[in-house]
Structure 1
């Protein structure tokens, strides 16, 4: 009898061990847009979840935390570095707080259209940049997606020329490169975290800000911002970032699933954001904003002030070679269209 009990106990122990061994790997996934399917980040996250769980037969359990539920961008990036968070989709300003070279993408009036940006980011420059980030941070940059073409908004008056920026208190992302941009145009920059921006605008702490249409709509910034100028000064980025410690713990099949599914997510993310960008004038007019579309000559006036000043800052902050490589990659991409 004792022998039978011992055999049964051993069998149960082995079965329990086998079940533990087959337990799904949890992939916590955070982003900073509302958890609604009309939001590009969330629609992309849902697609990634379904794709990965199907491709791995459930060996990876994707758990989505929208609207910054796991903390701000800096907190998320630290979690990725130290392996307490698996995946985050973070905006450019937040990334540069941990990896400053990301500021290079904030060079104003760089990309003439979405297609040029995609060629640069999906090409050799984007790949080399991701490799450098991985080596320095332990964070794996899986894909680049749109955060929207950035435009100026404010509550005081229309902005048609750089002179109209003079004296405006403008919110910027907590990144020195955006401070340099505002100062070059004569505005007074104030670094405010994204989560605090709607209240800062509503309370008049700042007069205006700069963001893409998707974010203006997602946070209902139009409620306190009367005027918008569609100057498109920065092609703003989101990046799909994964803890390399988590990635290295995946099987080859699971790694392939993550890499394939993040491309699907990126495509949805880009397509939705780009569509909103292209419909900016109508979208913002419909919610009551006064929209100004500057001429090419007017945009050139902004570029002449902003680009040299920001380029000088970037060359000092992230290196002249990196800035030159980006400009060369952009020129080649634009020339190939």
Structure 2
């Protein structure tokens, strides 16, 4: 009888555990910060990443997006992810650069000149090297890449075609030395400012302009506070998804692989999103009243001043002149 009672107790415990595991199952939901608003490339990338993560893990893991800098400025999220207090963040590469300087090669003016070049560099040997660097430098791991297009210059005062025109406006720039130095090389008036503060500063006239891709200009409703657009092509905006390295290392190899695989799917989706939407968004901004023009003389003077003054100043921070030349060779261009 005692033996039967033990069996009954054991069976009861097993049944309780099974019921508890099936009825009490809850997915691990990671927090994912984003600096831009809904409708942006960051948002499209994040939605696809979460969808694929759930598919790869049978819904054992998911993610919740917190857009519009709800969890802090983009640079703040790098710090928090490095500390392990934030799981993921989607942010502009220029906001990773202060913490891992070699990724600054992607913000050197006029290095990347097309979406195809951005894909080649981020998804090849250069991108793999930068992933390791960010792990070592900042305690965060890049697990995917969002592509947002060229950062065009917007302002509320006047059309800008020449560098002389640029000197008449105050432009908000990220807290990124390469981008600040680029505007200085052009003779402009750069004002470093956190992304989360930018719309209000434009609205209140603290600054006259800013630069970001068309997709971002539309998503952030900058057309309501900006009138003029200049099609400069000095930086192709790349926005990686970073993950806390401590959170990543706490996962099983299978879940780590599921995360990386989800990042690859989201990366491909981001390129498709940009290709499908950029021209349409540009036309919508025109219909909303924005006036778009190109720089005079094909941007020649802008390119010359930026590459001759800014590139040499930042060779050391990006990992050396040889590294830049390796990238230029990969892109089929002349070395410096």
Indicate the TM-score class for this superposition, using the shorter chain for normalisation: 0.7 to 0.9
Match of 1:242 in 2: 243
Whether 1:226 aligns to 2:220 is no
1-structure distance, mates of 2:328, 2:275? 19
Residues 23-49 of structure 1 show CA distances to partners (whole Å, capped at 9, x for unaligned) of: 5433222212223xx432223222222
Give the superposition deviation at 1:17.
Answer: 12
Distance 1:91 1:2, change over 3 A: farther
Match of 1:325 in 2: 323
2-structure distance, mates of 1:183, 1:221? 24
2-structure distance, mates of 1:286, 1:330? 38
Match of 2:186 in 1: 185
Give the superposition deviation at 1:7.
Answer: 4.0
Q: Secondary structure at the match of 2:151?
A: strand
Whether 1:30 aligns to 2:39 is no
Give the superposition deviation at 1:58.
Answer: 2.2
Match of 2:99 in 1: 98
2-structure distance, mates of 1:2, 1:81? 56
Q: Secondary structure at the match of 1:305?
A: helix
1-structure distance, mates of 2:17, 2:166? 69
2-structure distance, mates of 1:2, 1:156? 90
Is this contact kept in 2: 1:167–1:186, CA < 8 A?
Answer: no
2-structure distance, mates of 1:275, 1:177? 30
1:234-273 equivalences in 2 (<5 Å): 234-273=235-274
Q: Which runs of 5+ in 1 are unaligned?
A: none
Give the TM-score, by structure 1 length.
0.87
2-structure distance, mates of 1:180, 1:226? 25
Match of 2:84 in 1: 83
Is this contact kept in 1: 2:31–2:65, CA < 8 A?
Answer: yes
Distance 1:275 1:309, change over 3 A: farther
Q: Secondary structure at the match of 1:264?
A: helix
1-structure distance, mates of 2:19, 2:101? 45
1:47-196 equivalences in 2 (<5 Å): 47-196=48-197
2-structure distance, mates of 1:314, 1:2? 79
Give the superposition deviation at 1:234.
Answer: 0.7
Distance 1:17 1:140, change over 3 A: farther
Q: Secondary structure at the match of 1:156?
A: coil
Is this contact kept in 2: 1:89–1:240, CA < 8 A?
Answer: yes
2-structure distance, mates of 1:300, 1:80? 40
Is this contact kept in 2: 1:281–1:291, CA < 8 A?
Answer: no
Distance 1:114 1:14, change over 3 A: same
Give the superposition deviation at 1:200.
Answer: 0.8
Give the superposition deviation at 1:129.
Answer: 1.5
Give the superposition deviation at 1:13.
Answer: 11
1-structure distance, mates of 2:170, 2:48? 39
Give the superposition deviation at 1:315.
Answer: 2.0
Question: Aligned residue pairs: how many?
Answer: 330
Is this contact kept in 2: 1:33–1:39, CA < 8 A?
Answer: yes
Residues 113-155 of structure 1 show CA distances to partners (whole Å, capped at 9, x for unaligned) of: 2112211221111111211221222211112221321111112
1-structure distance, mates of 2:124, 2:168? 40
When the two chains are superposed, the root-mean-square deviation of aligned CA atoms in Å is: 2.8
1-structure distance, mates of 2:277, 2:325? 26
1-structure distance, mates of 2:231, 2:282? 8
Match of 1:307 in 2: 307
Q: Secondary structure at the match of 2:331?
A: helix
Give the superposition deviation at 1:161.
Answer: 1.5
1-structure distance, mates of 2:82, 2:175? 20
Q: Secondary structure at the match of 1:237?
A: strand
| Range that drifts further, 235-244 or 159-168 | 159-168
Give the TM-score, by structure 2 length.
0.87
Match of 2:13 in 1: 11
